[in-house]
Structure 1
Amino acid sequence: MKALVTGATGFLGQKLVNRLKQNGYIITATGRNHEIGKQLADQQVQFIAANLDDQTKMESLCQNQEMIFHCGARSAPWGDYEGFYQSNVLGTRYLLQGALKHHVKRFIHVSTPSIYFQFEDRFQIKENDPLPTKKVNAYAETKWLAEQEVDQVWKEHQLPTITIRPRAIFGPGDQTIIPRLLRIHERGSIPLIEGGQVELDITYVENVVDALLLCASAPESCFGKKYNITNGEPKLLIDLLQLLFQRLGEPLRTREIPFSTAYRFARLFEWAYRLFRHNSEPPITRYTIGVIGKSQTLDIAAAKEELGYHPNISIEEGIDLFIRWWKNKL
């Protein structure tokens, strides 16, 4: 089976490429990180550096491919809308056009549950639950528009598509979620809103890879659908932090901060950075405060029943694997 993987130099993309290679796929990998691309090439993976907004490149990469795993995206809580639109919306459109032109058999799209986010507690969100009219940031807005591009191609051209929405991916190689918490802790303490009594879902990276591979072999009844992907183990933020630092063998240091206070500070930072530091990301954003200050859990029943998805690595096992990697890295 020949497969194109976009975002192959990212956290999820690298793990997917490794697993596809183990499963005998002939892989073409693309991404922006030339250093990681060279590492992939050294592993006998064809790597082609490209930006998602390069229409000619995206369409040509689809040639001779049987399957596309679209993991690539511009992902950040802050940034100019146009940059997100070009990468996330136009990049997806160009790949879909290439898939149609070159008769690709299946298009598997990685989206995000950020499209569900509102500044309120939400539990067991289903894929077809109403979405907020206004998305929380440019990333969420453009990923939702990208999903609509995928939907349109399925409806109008019957290109087999499946979309997954994995929540808060972590594991060895993660450079964002847990490493950011550890860096904050190193500087003093981790701020906790509502005492960390907010319920969250996170997902071990190899479980997401499992879901992608299940999409590759899923029946036609799954085409055109979306699936939430998590570990299926909602936990309180404080419990996750205590587990993490217990496994690290370090005392957890936290400080209490009211949601309203944190939100006001974040809004002030956003205002200042928008005016004076256009190209920099504020140290905190309202979205970041919302993520750690409001509960959000997802219903994964559809993925279990229709894809046959089952999280094989638990959160505790995943944290142990991350810590082993983190300590080796240090």
Structure 2
Amino acid sequence: MKDFQAIGGDRASDPELLSPLFVTGGNGYLGRNLIRHFVAKGFKVVALVRSQQSADVVRVLGARPIVAQLSSPAVTEAMKGCRSLVHAAAHTSHGPETPEHVQVNVEGTRAIFAMARQAGVRRAVHVSTESVLLGGRALINVDENLAVPSRFPGAYSRTKAEAERIVRAQSGNGFEAVIVRPRFVWGRDDTTALPILTQAARSGQMAWINGGEYLTSVTHVANVCHGIELALLKGRAGEAYFITDGEPTTFRSFVSRLLETQGIDPPEKVVPSWLVGTVARAGEFAARLSGGRIKTPVTRQDLATMAVEVTLDITKAKRDLGYTPVVSVDEGMAELKRLASAGGDQQR
């Protein structure tokens, strides 16, 4: 049996070192792409999903589905025999806090990693986010040494930060857990950011905050999958790694290019950040008073994510993992445009 500590160089794609691989969030945007990525390399993949419909999807992609909730004791049995884990399931809403933020991001992570240890899984990657560092101010070329803030802009950042603490606490004594933090995941088969952006642009509700000319890091979904594979094989236990497409771009130019791949003209409307911030605070207050019946159009979590510069230094991933992006922004945009022209089937 090969030892994970001996992994390196040309052996980084050896399926025997990772297989079988257990993936949570199997029918999510990232989960589907992870299944494609690892199955194409010859790995056996077991995917946790929440419904029979989702099970049918991941089965077609080549994974063996397990229908259960994150905290179900049945997951321990399903994990037995798996050598590695990618925990991609998350409640990604940037809206006001709901029970699902804690149930999925905190308690779900706690349960999955405890069961993985019990089942004998040896290596794990927890998919986190740069949002754990957001405090409402710009993050300019930051690295993984930046401490999490004392206050968070919303439930998503807070619960994902708590999940990271849980993962680090679980790592050790024969179970090695690594954290990967992509930023603004995009690309083919996107059922998260791209649909939201296209709907906002088509409805006339999109505007550039302060002109949108601040820089942002972004991560094509293929680069996320590549970075996760390298983290499984080479990442240092308990460490976090930023994964991006490399050089940052301006938020406005990147989102404009995304919209143009879908045949949508980018908006010209500009709004000042102070006005949007006022709307966010008032909307969140109204949502709390109404018990969630009133929906706010924008939240402070939204603004911390998309209204200021957020750029990440990936030197650590390059040094420790040998990471370099496998898909450029130009290549990813060309693929999106080609798929849209072929009829909009992002999954082909």
Q: Does TM-score exceed 0.5, indicating one fold?
A: yes
Write the distance in 1 (CA, Å) between the matches of 2:136 and 2:116. Answer: 37
Check conservation: 1:31, 1:72, Cα contact below 8 A. Answer: no
Residues 84 and 245 (structure 1), Cα distance of their counterparts in 2 relative to 1, 3 Å cut? closer
Write the distance in 2 (CA, Å) between the matches of 1:25 and 1:267. Answer: 47
The equivalent of 1:329 in structure 2 is: 344
The equivalent of 1:257 in structure 2 is: 271
Write the distance in 2 (CA, Å) between the matches of 1:62 and 1:272. Answer: 43
Shift of 1:21: 1.1
Shift of 1:32: 2.3
Residues 237-277 of structure 1: per-residue CA shift (max 9 Å, x gap): 12213433454555322211110001111222222222225
What amino acid does structure 2 have at the position aligned with 1:168? F
Residues 249 and 79 (structure 1), Cα distance of their counterparts in 2 relative to 1, 3 Å cut? closer
Write the distance in 1 (CA, Å) between the matches of 2:187 and 2:249. Answer: 17
> 1:299 is matched with which residue: 313, 317, 321?
313
Identity of aligned residues (%): 27
TM-score, L = length of structure 1: 0.92
Check conservation: 2:218, 2:244, Cα contact below 8 A. Answer: yes
Write the distance in 1 (CA, Å) between the matches of 2:301 and 2:145. Answer: 22
The equivalent of 1:17 in structure 2 is: 35
2:50 is equivalent to residue 36 of structure 1: no
SS of corresponding position for 1:329 = coil
The equivalent of 1:186 in structure 2 is: 202
2:115 is equivalent to residue 98 of structure 1: yes
Write the distance in 2 (CA, Å) between the matches of 1:130 and 1:92. Answer: 21
SS of corresponding position for 1:190 = coil
What amino acid does structure 2 have at the position aligned with 1:3? L
Residues 82 and 242 (structure 1), Cα distance of their counterparts in 2 relative to 1, 3 Å cut? closer
Check conservation: 1:31, 1:49, Cα contact below 8 A. Answer: yes
Check conservation: 2:27, 2:57, Cα contact below 8 A. Answer: no
Residues 156-200 of structure 1: per-residue CA shift (max 9 Å, x gap): x34111110011100111122222221111112621112111111
Check conservation: 1:89, 1:145, Cα contact below 8 A. Answer: yes
Which deviates more, 110-119 or 314-323? 314-323
Residues 218 and 193 (structure 1), Cα distance of their counterparts in 2 relative to 1, 3 Å cut? same
The equivalent of 1:290 in structure 2 is: 304
Check conservation: 1:189, 1:255, Cα contact below 8 A. Answer: no
Residues 20-56 of structure 1: per-residue CA shift (max 9 Å, x gap): 11112121111225323202223442111222233x1
Unaligned runs of 5+ in 1: none
The equivalent of 1:241 in structure 2 is: 255
2:283 is equivalent to residue 269 of structure 1: yes
Write the distance in 1 (CA, Å) between the matches of 2:83 and 2:145. Answer: 29
The equivalent of 2:142 in structure 1 is: 125
TM-score, L = length of structure 2: 0.87
Write the distance in 1 (CA, Å) between the matches of 2:256 and 2:97. Answer: 36
Q: Which runs of 4+ in 1 moved over 6 A?
A: none
Write the distance in 1 (CA, Å) between the matches of 2:49 and 2:294. Answer: 23
2:17 is equivalent to residue 2 of structure 1: no
> 2:106 is matched with which residue: 89, 96, 104?
89
Residues 242 and 76 (structure 1), Cα distance of their counterparts in 2 relative to 1, 3 Å cut? closer
Check conservation: 1:9, 1:33, Cα contact below 8 A. Answer: no
Check conservation: 2:211, 2:252, Cα contact below 8 A. Answer: yes
Q: CA RMSD in A?
A: 2.0
Check conservation: 2:35, 2:62, Cα contact below 8 A. Answer: no
Which deviates more, 279-288 or 179-188? 279-288
Residues 123-151 of structure 1: per-residue CA shift (max 9 Å, x gap): 11111112211122112111111111111
SS of corresponding position for 2:47 = strand
2:154 is equivalent to residue 137 of structure 1: yes
> 1:46 is matched with which residue: 48, 58, 64?
64
Check conservation: 2:46, 2:63, Cα contact below 8 A. Answer: yes
SS of corresponding position for 1:30 = strand
Residues 280 and 202 (structure 1), Cα distance of their counterparts in 2 relative to 1, 3 Å cut? farther
Shift of 1:59: 2.5
The equivalent of 2:15 in structure 1 is: none
Write the distance in 1 (CA, Å) between the matches of 2:261 and 2:61. Answer: 33
The equivalent of 2:94 in structure 1 is: 77
